[in-house]
Amino acid sequence: MSHTPQRHIGPVALMLTGLGSIIGSGWLFGAAHAAQIAGPAAIFAWIIGMVIILAIALTYAELGTMFPETGGMVRYARYSHGSLLGFMAGWANWIAIVSVIPIEAEASVQYMSSWSFPWAQALYRNGELSGTGLQLAALLVLVYFLLNYWSAKLFTKANSAITVFKVLVPGATIGALIYSGFDAGNLGGHTPGGFAPYGWASVMTAVATSGIVFSFNGFQSPINMAGEAINPRRSIPFGVVGSILIAAVIYVLLQVSFLGALRPADLVHGWHGLDFSSPFAQLAMALGLNWLMLTLYFDAFISPSGTGAAYMASTARMIYAMERNGTMPKIFGRMHPLYHVPRPAMWFNLAVAYVFLFFFRGWGTLAAVISVATVISYLTGPISVAALRRAAPELPRPLNLKGMPLIAPFAFVCASLVLYWARWPLTGQIIFLIIAALPVYFWYQHKAGWQGFGREVKGALWMVLYLPAMALLSCIGSSEFGGMNLLPYGLDMVVVALVSLGFYHWGVRSGWRTRYLTQEHDADAVRALHAADAADGELQPALQTR
């Protein structure tokens, strides 16, 4: 049975996969949630979020071109720091991604609940899906599964078509709202509290919890599908950076148009009092834009479904990669010999998606959980890329950014700040969820005879201590971020930045040329792989005949 994915995805298709993953339910709900938390200053929250995600993504883009393999994002930390850190990074990354599948289905059903039909309004009540709503969401998850079940080619073709539609609808929404009902006074001139009614701390909280980090999270899809990319050295950076920049422009314009389209009645209880179950569709209805309202209701299925299908593909490849790490059962490493998709991993993710769907029945609740888990999953990328430059400088780096010595620590500090901005006690709860998975790792270590266990612990000790340290800082931090106010506002972020910078340098020094890197990515083998990729004229005909 084959274990090797085919390389058949070009750079544009890879970029569309990333954009298709990014533009999902986040654009339908993110602007309303961000405005509710930060008012008009939510515009800056999207810009801050884009800068942070782009810095993090650049570190992963270098790693993706070094190791163009399926499910790579759960393997990089293993190469640089050993199996324990690799397991923690992989677990956090998988939790953050697999939970996106049900949230996209929930988003579609939640938008339906504002239809005028009684049966539709019964789908979502009191902040969560009803029993019928859950059944409909479960059916949508199954559709995402089936789009990937027979072929990755089927998925990429469907996703490319869906993504084009997903970009056109937000564009039409922006144009229609600005043309029909834009009130510049809503940007702070005529609203209570001005531009930043709840202070700049609320802007940072919006970055972490309103769905902004969650909305950009799809940049991982091109990296996780690198093993199926034609010429990874060009496809991966094009796919990752291109999808983030295009999405950022769309998100900022959506936020501006949402703010300007609000009516005085919407703000009678202040920004915190905003209450929309299907934000843009309800604004379109209020402005008499029935064509836009109907388009948005249709897109509420298309956009989340495209993202859900993309994540179903991506998470299956993550489980496939975790099996190769030796921390998942062997069955999850099986590729279908004809369709070249990891079907057992897909079945497992389908079951887990249904568990999340059952326990988290509203978009807002699950979005906050995903956002924090996502930030934790980002932490190892900047450290792994810097540690490998130190411990394995001879490895070829098709994407070798000269500014990486500054980008990597900046990305790690930013990720730490976003984790802190998420507010206590949510930060502590998600950190506990990550640490609670360690018995699974210990079980597989026991089966392997604890080979090199001491060295593995040494490589991951910085992360083992970093997580509770961040939980403690969140607990004693300023009241603006839910803490005990032992660290006053302003000083708290300085302390978090300095502490995280210390952990960054510890983490980089903890890396070494691990046996996993030696076993699976010998320098000569990696050079041969990139040399083959460079020979485009010879490579592509071979791919077409595989």
Q: SS3 sequence, 431-478?
A: HHHHHCCHHHHHHHHHHCCCCCHHHHHHHHHHHHHHHHHHHHHHHHCC
Question: Rounded CA gap, 393 and 356, in Å?
Answer: 41
The highest-confidence range among 175-179, 284-288, 392-396, by mean pLDDT, is 175-179
The amino acid at residue 407 is I
Instruction: Tell me the Cα Rg of the chain.
Output: 23
Residue corresponding to tokens 């400088």: 393
The token pair that represents 319 in the structure block:
């489980």
Q: Which of the four pLDDT bands, split at 50, 70 and 90, describes residue 155?
A: low
Angle at 186 between CA 183 and CA 188, to 5 degrees: 140
Quick one: 403 exposed, middle or buried, by C-beta within 10 A (0-12, 13-18, 19+)?
exposed
Q: 10 Å Cβ neighbour count for 251?
A: 27
The pLDDT assigned to 160 comes to 62
Assess contact for 226 and 64: CB atoms under 8 A. yes
Q: 493 and 417 in contact (C-beta within 8 Å)?
A: yes
Residue 111 carries which DSSP code?
Answer: H
Q: What is the mean pLDDT of residues 486-502?
A: 95
Question: For 34-47, what is the mean pLDDT?
Answer: 93
So what's the pLDDT on residue 259? 93
- Taking 50 as the threshold, does the pLDDT of residue 544 lie above it? no
**Cα 67 to chain centroid, rounded:** 20
Q: Minimum mean pLDDT among 56-70, 340-354, 445-459, 528-542: which range? A: 528-542
Give the lowest-confidence range in 60-64, 116-120, 312-316, 493-497: 312-316
Backbone conformation region of residue 191, classed left if phi is above 0, alpha if psi is from -120 to 50, else beta: beta
Looking at the chain, the number of H-run helices and the number of E-run strands are 26, 2
Q: Tell whether the model's pLDDT for residue 4 goes beyond 50.
A: no
Ordered DSSP codes for 365-414: HHHHHHHHHHHHHHTHHHHHHHHHHHH-TTS--SS--TTHHHHHHHHHHH
Q: How confident is the model at residue 527 (pLDDT cuts 50, 70, 90)?
A: very low
For every residue of 248-265, DSSP letters joined together read HHHHHHHHHHHHHH--GG
How far CA 163 is from CA of 20, 143, 147, 184, 226, in Å, comes to 5, 17, 15, 31, 19
pTM to 2 decimals? 0.80
Reduced to 3 states, what is the DSSP secondary structure of residue 422? coil
Residue 487's nearest CA partner among 501, 470, 465 is: 470
98 touches 440 (CB < 8 A):
no
Burial of 475 (0-12, 13-18, 19+ CB in 10 A): middle
User: Quick check: 167 and 24 in contact, CB under 8 A?
Assistant: no
- For residues 540, 543, 544, 546, the Cα torsion angle rounded to the nearest 10 degrees is 160
DSSP 22: H
Half-sphere exposure of 384 (CA within 13 A, CB side): 34
Compute how many other C-beta atoms are within 10 angstroms of the C-beta atom of residue 180. Answer: 15
Question: What gap in Å lies between CA 52 and CA 55, rounded to an integer?
Answer: 5
Under DSSP, is residue 229 helix (H, G, I), strand (E, B) or coil? Answer: strand
Number of residues assigned to the chain:
546
CA–CA dist 4, 340 (Å, integer): 8
**What's the mean pLDDT in 171-199?**
86
> What letter does residue 124 receive in the DSSP assignment?
E
The torsion region of residue 70 among left (phi > 0), alpha (psi -120 to 50) and beta comes to beta
Q: Answer whether residue 6 shows pLDDT above 60.
A: no
Give the residue carrying structure tokens 């990328």. Answer: 381
* pLDDT of amino acid 390: 93
Q: Could you tell me how far CA 377 lies from the centroid of its own chain?
A: 9
Looking at the predicted structure, is the pLDDT value of residue 221 above 80?
no
Tally of CB atoms within 10 A around 10: 18
- Give the confidence band of 146 by pLDDT, cuts at 50, 70, 90: confident
